[in-house]
Amino acid sequence: MRRTVESGGFEEFLESSRAVAEFIKERALEGWSFTVLCHLDADGLSSGAIVGKALMRLQAPFQIRVLKQLDERSLKEVYTKDRATVFVDMGSGSLNILSSLEGAENIAVLDHHQPLETHLEEFKGAHLNPHLYGLNGSTDVSGSGVAYLVAKGLDPSNVDLSPLAVVGAIGDMQNRNDEMRLRGVNEVIVREAVESGLLKVEKDLLIPGRETKPIHRALASTMTPFIPGISGEEDKALAFLSSIGIPVKDGDIWRTLADLSEDEKRRLLDNLVAYMASRGVAQAETQRLVGEVYVLTREQRFTPLRDCREYAALLNACGRLGKPGLGIAVAMGDRRRRTLEETASVLNEYRGALARLIEGVIQNPSRLIDAEEIVIVNGVGLIPENLLSTVASILSANYPKPLIAFTETEDGMVKVSARAPKRLAEAGVNMGRIMAEAAESVGGVGGGHDVAAGALIPSTGRGDFLKRVMEFIGETVARG
């Protein structure tokens, strides 16, 4: 049964988070050293940093390892039974693998992906997952949110880590609803951050760098929603603003979004919506231009860390462009000038690469097949595996049907990112299950959430895999 924060699932979930905290504390007191394993996206890095901080405050020795994916091969490199291990933002879909490890009784899994139900009983470590309490891990709480609740179970003063839980939830796009705001457990965490004076919530245009960037650069760096012809193109953004009579300078000083009057903001929004509609962007997507903005009040003004959305983009950039250590350092509080300069340049590079990839797909009909029930994006030879997920998320927003993107990995496998609109997920299309089953049928692995999932499969299985996926989607749509 689907339960909500109001209907009681949250209380049991919270209780379980305290039990998992106790499990970790016991081992810390017994003198164990810890390995924290997390994923390389914004939610993964935020959750790794939350657990790292909490362990540091317990004075428990720990190291954080960032994984591209959880599989037997990567585990061989990082897992040892001699250390207690915390899997965060990963693990629930791999309980079979974890159960077979020696020392599994010293593993804690803090995750929000759909659990592998067949192995729940078998796993002897600690396991915290919102799905086990009727909550939805793709909308109610992120991996960072799960990690934060455990950190608070360890010590209430860890409430100062709440901003990271908000960053993680935004990174996982858990605010992708008609109001563009965080709900469920995330809303409870937002409230705690606000009450602690660490966060303020405002309603505004969702354009990155509201206070930090000249308005044309802010527009050009908007990736979700993707604005064809403007995202990634500062000159075109500049021309657009001048065509609608919005001055980009006040004397010699560049204006930011925060400097615009209400009337100018309204004009910008109306014109953007009309322009995007003329470029074929779905209306549901243009509505995503306005929503709640989460401002971190203790971060320096005029830095990307001030706005949770930009903070998340920065962590994604670090993780996906091969600098996960830099992302972890920032999330754990490193604010040295050199660090911040480096992250700013990684973020720039990331946005440029994404804009080029998206244009590369939408300009090339052979890469994007818009079929009746599904959109397929072929990224082979174009999209690097670490950027596939973000490209899939951005493109998917434009279609009222599932989107499957794939590319080749360095070692010749096929990596798949699948997205489904919320409406279809509510009607029973569960991408996480579809990916798990279709991948298994061709000897690969898959899983994830109802609206966002992925898989890694052998390249010889690609055709059969896609066929299975189409069958599953067809069956669910027919049933619904």
Residue 67 is a binding residue for ligand C5P (CB under 6 A)? no
Q: In the range 33-72, which residues lie near Zn ion by CB under 5 A?
A: 43
Q: In the range 334-393, which residues lie near ligand C5P by CB under 6 A?
A: 389, 392-393
Say if strands 368-370 and 403-408 run parallel, antiparallel, or are unpaired. unpaired
- By beta-carbon distance, which residue lies closest to ligand C5P? 448
Residue 89 is a binding residue for Zn ion (CB under 5 A)? yes
Residue 445 is a binding residue for ligand C5P (CB under 6 A)? yes
In the block, which residue shows the tokens 């300078």? 249
SS3 content of the chain, % helix, strand, coil (to 5): 50, 15, 35
Q: Give CA–CA dist 477/162, Å, rounded.
A: 39
Residue 138 is a binding residue for ligand C5P (CB under 6 A)? yes
x/- contact string, 172-191, with ligand C5P (CB under 6 A)?
Answer: xx--x---------------
Number of residues that bind ligand C5P (CB under 6 A): 29
Q: Which stretch binds ligand C5P (CB under 6 A): 234-242, 286-294, 326-334, 454-462?
A: 454-462
In this structure, are residues 175 and 291 in contact, taking their beta carbons and an 8 Å threshold?
Answer: yes
Pick the binder of ligand C5P from 28, 40, 43, 291 (CB under 6 A): 43
* Helices 262-278 + 234-243 axis angle, to 10: 120
Smallest gap from Cβ 353 to ligand C5P, in A, equals 16
Which of Zn ion, ligand C5P, none lies near 176, with the C-beta cut-off 5 to 8 A by kind?
ligand C5P
Q: Give CA–CA dist 45/65, Å, rounded.
A: 10
Smallest gap from Cβ 44 to ligand C5P, in A, equals 6
Q: Which stretch binds Zn ion (CB under 5 A): 1-9, 136-144, 361-369, 388-396?
A: 136-144
Smallest gap from Cβ 115 to ligand C5P, in A, equals 11
Give me the sign of the Cα torsion angle 221, 224, 227, 228. Answer: positive
* 215-177-197-316 Cα dihedral, nearest 10 degrees: -60
Which of ligand C5P, Zn ion, none lies near 291, with the C-beta cut-off 5 to 8 A by kind?
none
Q: Give CA–CA dist 131/3, Å, rounded.
A: 10
Which of ligand C5P, Zn ion, none lies near 224, with the C-beta cut-off 5 to 8 A by kind?
none
Residue 129 is a binding residue for ligand C5P (CB under 6 A)? no
Q: Give CA–CA dist 75/66, Å, rounded.
A: 11
Q: What angle do CA 449, 317, 201 make, to 5 degrees?
A: 70
Element (H, E) at 242: helix 234-243
Pick the binder of Zn ion from 143, 214, 228, 421 (CB under 5 A): 143
* Residue 226: C-alpha distances to residues 55, 321, 395 (Å): 39, 20, 8
- 69 or 271: whose CB is closer to ligand C5P? 69
CA 288 to chain centre: 17
Q: How many CB atoms lie within 10 A of CB 382?
A: 17
Pick the binder of ligand C5P from 48, 130, 153, 446 (CB under 6 A): 446
Smallest gap from Cβ 413 to ligand C5P, in A, equals 11
- 137 or 214: whose CB is closer to Zn ion? 137
By CB under 6 A, name the binding residues for ligand C5P. Answer: 39, 41, 43-44, 69, 89, 93, 113, 138, 143, 172-173, 176, 389, 392-393, 417, 419, 445-449, 451-456
